[in-house]
Amino acid sequence: MPLTADEQREVRELIAPAEAAAFFDQPPVDQRHGLDSARTALFLGADRAQVRSALLHDIGKRHAGLGILGRSIASVLIKLRLPMTRRMRLYRDHGEIGGSELERLLGDCLESRFARHHHRHRPPAIEEAVWNLLQRADHERTI
């Protein structure tokens, strides 16, 4: 479900125009997930950088251009370690892609680190408590 005008304003209050361009370039389902993750992070007591990290963590997915069926197939191929199309590899690598993009926009910061590593293990540069909060925000709907 697309974000409402009020929800779009909520997002724009958290991020700069360059980040907003990347965020709103995502399909509505990913925008919704990002906003839900940011709201959950806020509910869990996150600070502004952590909320922004939750909001922006999946922006790399938009480069794959896959719909629900393509994402589902890619997910199965990833789990089975089978060959994938170029777009499916972009989907698989969305964390690295989004992390690099955010690093170009923001520098080496929590937002770029979490995007890059959110499907991997916690990097030493992210405190364990922060990592756990962001992982909960990504995977749980607590609001």
Residues 25-82: tens digit of each pLDDT: 999 999 999 999 999 999 999 999 999 999 999 999 999 999 999 999 999 999 999 9
Query: Is a pLDDT exceeding 70 seen at residue 143?
Result: no
Under DSSP, is residue 109 helix (H, G, I), strand (E, B) or coil?
coil
pLDDT digit string (tens) for 3-15?
A: 999 999 999 999 9
Beta-carbon contacts of residue 29 (< 8 Å; ≥ 6 apart): 68
Q: Which two tokens stand for residue 50?
A: 């952590």
Phi-psi region of 66 (alpha: psi -120 to 50; beta: other; left: phi over 0): beta
Measuring CA to CA, which residue among 55, 113, 119 is closest to residue 91?
A: 119
**Largest pairwise CA distance in the chain:** 42
**Nearest C-alpha neighbor of 135 from the set 28, 46, 20:** 46
* Entry pTM: 0.95
| Structure confidence by residue, pLDDT tens digits, 130-140 | 999 999 999 99
**Sign of the CA dihedral with 55 first, then 59, 62, and 66 last:** negative
Nearest to 99 by CA among 90, 89, 108: 108
pLDDT exceeds cutoff 80 at 84: yes
CA distance linking residue 60 with residue 73, whole number of Å: 18
DSSP 27: -
